[in-house]
A and B are shown apart, each in its own frame.
Chain A
Amino acid sequence: MAKYKMHVLICGGTGCKSSNSSDIVENFQKILAEKNLQDEVQVIKTGCFGFCEKGPIVKIMPDNTFYTQVKPEDVRNIVEEHIIKGRKVPGLLYVNPENKEHVSDSKHMGFYKKQLRIALRNCGFINPENIEEYIARDGYQALASVLEQNDPEATIELIKKSGLRGRGGAGFPTGMKWSLCRPNKADQKYMICNADEGDPGAFMDRSILEGDPHSIIEAMAIGGFCIDATKGLVYIRAEYPLAIHRLQVAIEQAREYGLLGKDIMGSGFDFDIELRYGAGAFVCGEETALIHSMEGKRGEPTFKPPFPAVEGYLGKPSNVNNVETLANIPVIINKGWEWFSSIGTEKSKGTKVFALAGQINNVGLIEVPMGTTLREVIYEIGGGIKGGKKFKAVQTGGPSGGCLTEKFLDTPIDYENLVAAGSMMGSGGMIVMDETSCMVSVAKFYLDFTVEESCGKCSPCRIGNKRLCEILDKITKGNGTMQDLDELKNLAKVIKDTALCGLGQTSPNPVLSTIDNFWDEYVAHVVDKKCPAGQCKALKQYVIDPEKCKGCTACARNCPVNAIHGTVKNPHEIDQSACIKCGTCYEKCKFNAISIK
């Protein structure tokens, strides 16, 4: 990178690409060429910077200027002012919401201050489609040292000591997983990367694959060497075309450089990677289901044991690791297990990436050391609740997790604490909700998802979740009884105890955690027939304010069920027993006389 005086880094992640970052890249190239600067300023399309809320992001190096919400038409201004004259463009700088001052260096922004980026170390720094940029940032050095040392057991031991645990959700120690697979002899073994990110609202795996694909390739080769596998398989969602493309490019380049293929770096170790495509099934994140899907079958889980380490893909010993887990491996080897295990809490080491979303000011992808509290994440990094509203709950762990209330805000985040609080780490979705979210509807939203995604193999999940969903539906429609609430709790516990796989066993979590933490809200739906958040359509009441009503008859004429009575120029009234809550009167009233209660 030395020959250029300046670098323009432009986010090419999915979020920024959706807001025209490709046009920004094009404009930079065009305008720089026009000014004859193309040999002095390099334009690089990077992976995700994480600060998706303020995208598209453009960063100018070496002065670290961080421009937010850049539009294609702003490019000329940046080139003429900043690149040529050296004056920052104030209108595009980040504004600190507290003191309204411009912040130009991302290091001083609240969003980045508390973060520690290990898995995301290269995202937003390098061009993911250029292997040399990865190598320049110590890429493939870990693989080289592992192969040179030629002692797989020692490498496994190092990973064990680092305390790295699976980032896909369950938190199984990664070194242990490798050591269970290594002794199983077979003519072919497989190192599998689980890139089937199915949790709606979590996109860390995708961002790593899009922003730093070589780290996954390197880690898979290291894993393959340790467990004695010569074939690597990445099971990736077909819905991630950009990640697939970048991974393919990276694999090709690694082959060209002799970092994949036969006799890697002259060590005698052969390893190559192929891609397998998922087709949209949440349950395929479960490793046995994933393996069945790779074999071309329905992605149904099977009972463990036998574990994949003994009988996996095509009946051969296989090891499955999540993308984020793998992204940590090369750094641990380069910097040592002591360094890694010094970060985090007693039982959860290192960092965790979260996709911070929902009713929060700074939506984006963040990485924090284990042990950071939810309050730090939501208020310091996330910038607090959108529109100054009141915090109500934070949902972690996706459809398998739970909703946590204010009393858990000071809980340090790690695997054990989140489970103890009634949620789980999961893959790292973190959805913040404000007072306008109805928790019964949220539970129903997740159950709808689980019902749709249940593979149907075991009846607790297939039938039980369907029943749970029906009861929740009944409650949100105002037809629930207290008996339904008991039923809900009992059934949820039965499903938790009896379902076959992780998906089924955790699927009632959203229901149980909302019952625990928001019991009053359930009771309000059932007894008072009211939705405190005003979200449940059937529980809304449309009321005409007689002071404001002019008696224009527009509402009565448009009501599809003739539920509105009154005479011309006199205040009208809604017959609540006949009202179907369609909202037509509310839309038609020109005098704002109709309100929702």
Chain B
Amino acid sequence: MDKIIVKMKKEVREKVVEICNSFNNQPGELINVLHKTQDFLGYLPAEVQELIAECLHIPTAKVYGVVSFYAFFTMTPKGKYPVSVCLGTACYVRGAEKILDAFKKELNLEVGQTSEDGLFSLNCLRCVGACGLAPVAMVGDKVYGRLTPADVKGIVDEYRNLEANA
């Protein structure tokens, strides 16, 4: 099979190789390599997976198999302000679906999408551990609790204003 032509910046390539080296290119460290790479790059595009496969001497299919298996790994870049709505059971019974619908409407995004300007992305997650504040949503690392659908616009505007004043 022909290899995918690797299109990535030199520094990205060097950094990924460096990460693989730091784990001695051990196939058993694949998940740790992917964690470090995603920390650095924000996501795991196909060409990066190809490169990791090459470094660890394993088939690309195996890398892709692991990336697609775990929910934490993503192949699409997240927005500058990633919105995650908790759909854990505690939040679900306190109306998390309505919060999610409100975010969908306000951001005009479906779950898993990133806005064209790269500012917002919308995702679901399972349990932040702040069930006392249910329903909960996160923007980046900040947790917003005891939400009602009416709060959603204010939260999004907070970041829009931040961007407008930047």
**Chain A interface (Cβ < 8 Å from any Cβ of B):** 13-15, 17-19, 52-55, 198-203, 206-207, 238-240, 276-281, 293, 295-299, 314, 355, 357-359, 363-364, 395, 398, 429, 431, 433, 437, 442, 445-446, 449, 452, 455
With A18-B136, A358-B94 given, name 13 new contacts (CB 8 A): A13-B129, A17-B143, A18-B143, A200-B89, A200-B126, A238-B35, A240-B129, A276-B32, A278-B70, A281-B71, A355-B90, A364-B132, A452-B71
Question: What 0/1 readout, one digit per residue, does chain B (83-116) give for beta carbons within 8 Å of chain A?
Answer: 0000111101110000000000000000000000
User: Which chain B positions have C-beta within 8 A of A395?
Assistant: 89
Q: Is B28 an interface residue (CB 8 A)?
A: yes
A201 vs B27: C-alpha distance when bound (angstroms) = 34
Q: Interface code B122-142, partner A: CB below 8 Å = 1, 0 otherwise?
A: 000111111111101000000
Q: B31 an interface residue at 8 Å Cβ cutoff?
A: yes
Q: What residue of chain B has the Cβ atom nearest to residue A206's Cβ?
A: B129
Question: Given that A299-B70, A429-B89 are known contacts, is A359 also in contact with B130, CB under 8 Å in the complex?
Answer: no
Chain A residues near B130 (CB, 8 Å)?
Answer: 14-15, 18, 52
Alpha-carbon distance A596/B114, docked complex (angstroms) = 34
Q: Is the CB of A433 within 8 A of B93?
A: yes
A261 and B151 CA atoms in complex are apart in Å by 51
Across the interface, B127 reaches (CB within 8 A) one of A17, A54, A201, namely A201
- In the complex the two chains form, what is the Cα distance from A296 to B94 in whole Å? 37
| Residues on B with beta carbons closer than 8 Å to the beta carbon of A358 | 89-90, 93-94
Contact in complex: A201, B35 (CB < 8 Å): no
* Minimum Cβ distance to chain B for residue A458 (Å): 15
Flag whether B155 is at the interface (Cβ < 8 A): no
The chain B residues found within 8 Å of chain A, CB to CB, are 26-32, 34-35, 65-66, 69-73, 87-90, 92-94, 125-134, 136, 143, 145
Q: List 22 A-B contacts (CB under 8 A).
A: A18-B133, A18-B143, A19-B133, A55-B132, A200-B87, A201-B127, A201-B131, A206-B129, A239-B72, A240-B129, A277-B32, A279-B35, A279-B70, A279-B73, A280-B70, A280-B72, A296-B32, A358-B90, A358-B93, A359-B94, A431-B93, A449-B126
Q: Please determine whether A281 and B131 come into contact, CB atoms closer than 8 angstroms.
A: no
Query: B98 CB to closest chain A CB, in angstroms?
Result: 11
Residues of B within 8 A of A53 (CB): 132
Q: How far is the CB of A200 from chain B (nearest CB, A)?
A: 4
Q: Identify which of B28, B132, B133 gathers the most chain A CB atoms within 10 Å of its CB.
A: B132
Contact of B72 among A279, A355, A433, A446 (CB under 8 A): A279
Contact B94 A279 (CB under 8 A): no
Min distance, Cβ A435 to any Cβ of chain B, angstroms: 12
Q: Closest Cβ of chain A: how far from B147's Cβ, in Å? A: 12
Residue of A nearest to B71 (CB): A280
When distances are taken between beta carbons in the complex, the residues of chain B under 8 Å from A240 are 129
Q: Which of A200, A359, A449, A452 has most B Cβ within 10 Å?
A: A200
Contact A281 B89 (CB under 8 A): no
Chain A proximity of B47: nearest CB distance (Å): 20
Please state if A445 and B94 are interface contacts (CB–CB under 8 Å). Answer: no
Give the chain B neighbours of A279 by CB distance below 8 A.
31, 34-35, 70-73
Contact B35 A437 (CB under 8 A): no
* Given contact pairs A201-B131, A203-B127, A449-B126, A398 touches B89 in the complex (Cβ within 8 A): yes
Tell me if A203 and B131 are in contact (CB < 8 A): yes
Asked whether, in the complex, the Cβ of A200 is within 8 Å of the Cβ of B73, the reply is no
List the A side residues contacting B32 at CB < 8 Å. Answer: 276-277, 296
**Bound Cα distance A54, B133 (Å):** 9
**Which chain B residue lies CB-closest to A51?**
B132
Give Cα distance in the complex from A199 to B65, angstroms.
Answer: 23
B129 partner residues in chain A, CB cutoff 8 A:
13-15, 203, 206-207, 240
Assuming the contacts A14-B128, A200-B89, A203-B127, asked whether A296 and B69 have C-beta atoms less than 8 A apart, the reply is: no
The answer to whether B90 touches A18, judged by C-beta atoms less than 8 angstroms apart, is no
Kindly list chain B residues whose C-beta atoms are within 8 Å of the C-beta of A198.
126
* Complex CA distance for A202 and B8, rounded to whole angstroms: 41
Assuming the A-B contacts A279-B35, A359-B94, are A455 and B132 also in contact, with contact meaning beta carbons closer than 8 angstroms in the complex? no
A450 to B34, CA, bound (A): 25
Bound-state CA distance A201–B73 (Å) is: 22
Check A200–B93 contact: CB distance below 8 A: no
Residues in B neighbouring A452, C-beta threshold 8 A: 71
Asked whether A201 lies within 8 Å of B90 as measured between CB atoms, the reply is: yes
CA distance A14 to B92 in the complex (A): 19
**What B residues does A15 contact at CB under 8 A?**
129-133
A353 to chain B, nearest CB (A): 13
**How far, in whole Å, are A429 and B94 apart by their CA atoms in the complex?**
15
**Given the contacts A52-B132, A279-B35, A358-B93, A202 and B127 also touching, CB distance less than 8 Å:** yes
Q: Which residues of the partner chain A approach B125 to less than 8 Å between Cβ atoms?
A: 239
Name the B residues within 8 Å of A281 (CB-CB): 69-71
Q: How far is the CA of A395 from the CA of B127 in the complex (A)?
A: 16
Determine the distance from Cα of A357 to Cα of B86 in the docked complex, in whole angstroms: 14
Question: What is the CA–CA distance of A280 and B129 in the complex, to the nearest angstrom?
Answer: 14
Contact across chains for A238 and B72 when beta carbons are under 8 A apart: yes
9 closest Cβ pairs, A-B complex: A52-B132, A357-B90, A279-B70, A280-B71, A200-B88, A18-B143, A201-B89, A296-B30, A280-B72
